[in-house]
Structure 1
Amino acid sequence: MITRRHELGETLKNVGYEKIGIDEAQKTPWESLERDIPPWIQTFKQCANVHLPAERKLVQTIFSGYSSLSDSIIINLARCMFLQFLNFPEAVAFCKLSPEKLFKFLDMYKALRDNLSPIDSVFPKECARDLRKEITACRGRYACEYKDTIGQVFKDHSKIERANSTSRPQNYISRSEKYKKNEAGEDRPPFQEQLMQIIDLLEQSINSKTMLYKDVPLRCIFMMNNGRYMLQKIKGTPELYEVVGDNWCRNLSFDVRNYHMVYQRETWIKLLGCISNQGLTVKGKVVKPVLKEKFKNFNAMVDEIYRTQSTWVVSNKQLQSELRVSIASVVIPAYMSFLGRYAGYLDHGRQTEKYIKYQPDDIETYIDELFDGLKN
């Protein structure tokens, strides 16, 4: 058995694996550990799927008819090798994790997750169960580190978050979703459980940042940007959609629509209030000073909306189009009606030029230039 262990060790060394203990790994700089991760993953796959099954077959051939002896030999040989392999990911799991290390950690997690099946064929049932527990516990530590690191990303990002952007942590979730997979025999895989907690944390983070924006329309744009981005990423990733479920997506869609309605009310319904009929007539006659004031207020508010909201960014093109269409469908007909009804009460020439600053086509052009981040 000592000879076979030595032979197996030499085979693994020839494919690039260098044995490293936990103490040694914890003292090794991250740059060196990072270089060791791909060879470890490759060797771990070969060991689990090729070398250990081959050793099992060899031992069974030599000790044919002595199943208890062959089981004992393969358990001692393979268990020693497996536990030695786990030293490296255990040590890496104790490294201080930062965002730039995140996907190397997830590569390790994926290797530990995807190479469990040979254990059941190589080891007797009781030994296989114990090894699965060891590997699952190691994966659980990686999942916890991932959660803590994403939380730190949220914390750091909240200091510099802009309303015109979508949250960078969502990209970590979207990219890391390829590592999520339902393992047979586990009611709730560690990574799946952590992923749901992270999504909840992301929602809380976004909601808390809305309070940074005193301008209600800007707050609504921020929430629509992030809500639509989350829906796009989740619906575009079947595995992630499976985790969060249809109800969660419907609720988020409902929230996005509500923010759209609030934005419309706080910006454009207020604008239309400038050209309402209220106070415009007395005893059936148009009060020209009031009419002039309404046009002045309307012009000033259009100027202000365009000045601010043309610098805002709605990154989702479909959402951008939906906003523009909904704005135009409310504002243009109302303004055309007001203009057609009351423009004739102003003196042609100087008064008309002074108070009727915009034609409906001008307003429509302005609307089409909103949410593009234009520099004024």
Structure 2
Amino acid sequence: MRTVFFSSSRPSSPSHYSYPSSPHRSAPSPPLRVYMIDENLETAHDIFTKWDIDGGSKLDSLFAGSDRKEAKLFLRSAKDLQAAMQFFMSEGSSSEKLVRAQNLMQIAMKRLEKEFYLILSTNRNNLDAESVSSRSSRVSERSSTSDFEEDGSEVESQVARDSLSEVERVSELAMSDLKTIADSMISSGYGKECVRIYNIIRKSIVDESLYYLGVEKLNPSQFQKMDWEVIEVKIKSWLHAMKIAVKTVFYGERILCDHVFSASSRISESCFAEIAKEGAMTLFGFPELVAKFKKLSPEKMFRILDLYDAISEYWPEIESIFSFESISTVRSQAITSLVKLGDAARTMLSDFETAIQKDIAKAPVSGGGVHPLTRYVMNYVVFLSDYSGALTDIVADWPLSNQSPLPESYFSSPTSDNSPTTAISVRLAWLVLVLLCKLDSKAELYKDVSLSYLFLANNLNYVVSKVRTSNLNLVLGDDWLLKHEAKMKQYAANYERMGWNKVIVSLPELNPTANISPDEARLRFRNFNTAFEETYRKQTSWVVPDPKLRDEIRTSLARKLVPVYGEFYQKFRTMFRRQMGDESIVRYAPDDIGNYLSDLFYGAGTSRSTSNSSSSSLSSHSHERRVR
């Protein structure tokens, strides 16, 4: 029968909402309506005074316990009383009844205000952001259904609740109670009181959550004075906090806010803005402080990219959670931080390139091994390739300011289309090219040309290996790899040609039909011995760190030397018998040559199985290998 009181055609006051009349039944006659209103006033008086806070009620909570009958009766009476007040104003009834109804309404709203506070304060743990966000799907399904509606949905709600744990049941019940009270207070014109309590309690919870996550408001001038080690710790803390804050704290708070104040999107927006704006601005403002740090250097690049990655990854959630126009400044702050981080990253990439170009060429690397600059640059570029997603955005509209006369095809992207990876491919290929050009100048420090080629082969092999075994393989592509592998093999071939030319030319080009005199054979053996021993001694300190390249070079040398020397050895070794006290003409068997080659490229004058630090040791060792 309470639908009878929803028939007023005048605007309700002080509520913001109007109550439509029921189209399915005719209104009772005026005497009957007045009688029913008076009866509802008496019912409201009985229950409201029972729970009157100012009247000294000792009852703790209207919504405590499992019995909801009293709470349902209280809310129904509040709804009926609001309709009665509308009737009195529309019919011009006596001011005495209207004043009485208003006084009863104030008693009811004070009680609901206290209940609202009690539910919020006693359920801080049950209404934490993580719990709310994890159960958002269930809440959204029931957001339009209250436990106090009498349309038969109570049974469905109870069935759904039976499948939940005790903590989940308490949480869902608290959310349902909060929504019901908020609906009642807002419809009765007491929305401000409801919002005030909600904002105070929930903002303290959000601020406390962010505090324990390590989110703090920092002064820009003080930030500039911090050591990078301190800032790096704060960055790690922020990265952890960012995920939880966005996916749990703010997301859960938005879900709770939208659920409790589903009766008014305007109120929901204002509450969420009041609760979350300050903390969100602090959270999303931190990366901008880091990006503006004056002591940034290329080594700090990866923390900048971590921050950039985090904002990019969570941007869809940020945009969704903070979609209200009233908190557009939060979205703007996140975008500003992203832009500033991109600017800082581009500056550091430029500084990194400049540092490669300005690396001072000091003494050459011992033994022609991998240069420290090569290791540093390639490790750096490999790490950059792990951030290809972020870097693609950062360098997309940042063309190379290349003044080099080198052909563009040398450092262009392996892709021929305009795919998003083109910019980052070009950028990283260019950094590698800058390194290779610098290595060319460092190779000139070696007085021995063959050693300079071995240096280039070692370093380019290191570069190629790093590309092949990292994300750079995907960024630079197979064409880049094939081109530079071929270049590395050419360097190795040049080393063999320049380093072992004297040994190779000392061997005769044997012809089965040609006759070689003993004197000429003796000269050939002596020339070979001298050239081989000189070359071997010189190269015992040379190094090839990569086992695969080391084996390839030794195998290639063996193929050039051993077969030719072996044939010459087999044909002429019987001509020369070592006399007592004479120097041996035939010092090495073919197997000896292979053994000596296998000892090369371990560096520091040592070999895998022997130590040949002087010419006398080599000669002594060779004399022990008697002609068989």
Same fold (TM over 0.5): yes
C-alpha contact (below 8 Å) 1:23/1:91 kept by paired residues: no
1:160-186 per-residue CA deviation (whole Å, 9 max, x = no partner) reads 662312522222233454344369998
1:66-112 per-residue CA deviation (whole Å, 9 max, x = no partner) reads 44664576568656544433443333332423566555445444434
SS in 1 for 2:386: helix
What amino acid is aligned across from residue 90 of structure 1 in structure 2?
E
Aligned to 1:230: 463
Shift of 1:336: 1.1
In the alignment, the residues of structure 2 paired with residue 189 and residue 251 of structure 1 have an alpha-carbon distance, to the nearest angstrom, of 18
Shift of 1:363: 1.2
**1:84-103 equivalence runs, <5 A:** 84-93=282-291, 94-98=293-297, 101=300, 103=302
Aligned: 1:247 with 2:449: no
Aligned: 1:10 with 2:212: no
Aligned to 2:451: 218
**1:182-193 equivalence runs, <5 A:** 187=420
In the alignment, the residues of structure 2 paired with residue 287 and residue 68 of structure 1 have an alpha-carbon distance, to the nearest angstrom, of 110
Deviates most, 81-90 or 315-324: 81-90
In the alignment, the residues of structure 2 paired with residue 300 and residue 95 of structure 1 have an alpha-carbon distance, to the nearest angstrom, of 62
In the alignment, the residues of structure 1 paired with residue 533 and residue 213 of structure 2 have an alpha-carbon distance, to the nearest angstrom, of 69
C-alpha contact (below 8 Å) 2:522/2:585 kept by paired residues: yes
> Higher relative CO (CA 8 A, sep ≥ 6), structure 1 or 2?
1
1:198-236 per-residue CA deviation (whole Å, 9 max, x = no partner) reads 333333333332333342322222222222222222222
SS in 1 for 2:593: helix
What amino acid is aligned across from residue 13 of structure 1 in structure 2?
Y
Which of 239, 243, 251 lines up with 1:53 in the alignment? 251
Which of 286, 294, 297 lines up with 2:517 in the alignment? 286
C-alpha contact (below 8 Å) 1:99/1:153 kept by paired residues: no
C-alpha contact (below 8 Å) 2:287/2:307 kept by paired residues: yes
1:6-59 per-residue CA deviation (whole Å, 9 max, x = no partner) reads 543332112222221322211223233233222222222222222121222233
Aligned to 2:587: 357
Query: Identity of paired residues, percent?
Result: 29
Which of 153, 165, 172 lines up with 2:380 in the alignment? 172
Which of 522, 525, 528 lines up with 1:298 in the alignment? 528
TM-score, length basis structure 2: 0.52
In the alignment, the residues of structure 1 paired with residue 575 and residue 473 of structure 2 have an alpha-carbon distance, to the nearest angstrom, of 59
Shift of 1:312: 1.8
- Residues 1:96 and 1:344: Cα distance change in structure 2 (over 3 Å): same
Shift of 1:274: 1.3
Aligned to 1:181: 389
Aligned to 1:201: 434
**1:38-49 equivalence runs, <5 A:** 38-49=236-247
Greater Rg over alpha carbons, structure: 2
Aligned to 1:144: 346
Aligned to 1:267: 499
Shift of 1:329: 1.4
Aligned to 1:115: 314
SS in 1 for 2:444: helix
Shift of 1:197: 4.1
In the alignment, the residues of structure 2 paired with residue 161 and residue 118 of structure 1 have an alpha-carbon distance, to the nearest angstrom, of 53
In the alignment, the residues of structure 1 paired with residue 516 and residue 544 of structure 2 have an alpha-carbon distance, to the nearest angstrom, of 44
SS in 2 for 1:328: helix
Aligned to 1:336: 566
C-alpha contact (below 8 Å) 2:308/2:341 kept by paired residues: yes
In the alignment, the residues of structure 2 paired with residue 98 and residue 223 of structure 1 have an alpha-carbon distance, to the nearest angstrom, of 29
Shift of 1:335: 0.9
Structure 2 unaligned blocks of 5 or more: 1-195, 397-419, 607-612, 614-628
Shift of 1:129: 7.3
What amino acid is aligned across from residue 505 of structure 2 in structure 1?
G
In the alignment, the residues of structure 1 paired with residue 215 and residue 331 of structure 2 have an alpha-carbon distance, to the nearest angstrom, of 26
In the alignment, the residues of structure 1 paired with residue 468 and residue 203 of structure 2 have an alpha-carbon distance, to the nearest angstrom, of 49
Shift of 1:327: 1.1
**1:57-72 equivalence runs, <5 A:** 57-64=255-262, 66-67=264-265, 70=268
Shift of 1:148: 4.4
Aligned to 2:89: none
In the alignment, the residues of structure 1 paired with residue 460 and residue 281 of structure 2 have an alpha-carbon distance, to the nearest angstrom, of 44
CA RMSD, Structure 1 to Structure 2 (Å): 3.7
Shift of 1:333: 0.5
Deviates most, 121-130 or 262-271: 121-130
Aligned to 1:37: 235
In the alignment, the residues of structure 2 paired with residue 8 and residue 365 of structure 1 have an alpha-carbon distance, to the nearest angstrom, of 74
What amino acid is aligned across from residue 181 of structure 1 in structure 2?
G
In the alignment, the residues of structure 2 paired with residue 303 and residue 102 of structure 1 have an alpha-carbon distance, to the nearest angstrom, of 50
C-alpha contact (below 8 Å) 2:214/2:237 kept by paired residues: yes
- Residues 1:64 and 1:116: Cα distance change in structure 2 (over 3 Å): same
C-alpha contact (below 8 Å) 1:41/1:108 kept by paired residues: yes
Number of aligned positions between the proteins: 371
Deviates most, 135-144 or 218-227: 135-144
What amino acid is aligned across from residue 357 of structure 1 in structure 2?
R
In the alignment, the residues of structure 2 paired with residue 367 and residue 148 of structure 1 have an alpha-carbon distance, to the nearest angstrom, of 45
1:222-271 per-residue CA deviation (whole Å, 9 max, x = no partner) reads 2222222222222222x322111111111111111211221222123442
SS in 2 for 1:115: helix
Which of 28, 37, 55 lines up with 2:226 in the alignment? 28
**1:158-169 equivalence runs, <5 A:** 158-159=361-362, 162=365, 163-166=368-371, 167-169=374-376
C-alpha contact (below 8 Å) 2:298/2:348 kept by paired residues: no
What amino acid is aligned across from residue 233 of structure 2 in structure 1?
R
Structure 1 unaligned blocks of 5 or more: none
What amino acid is aligned across from residue 116 of structure 1 in structure 2?
W
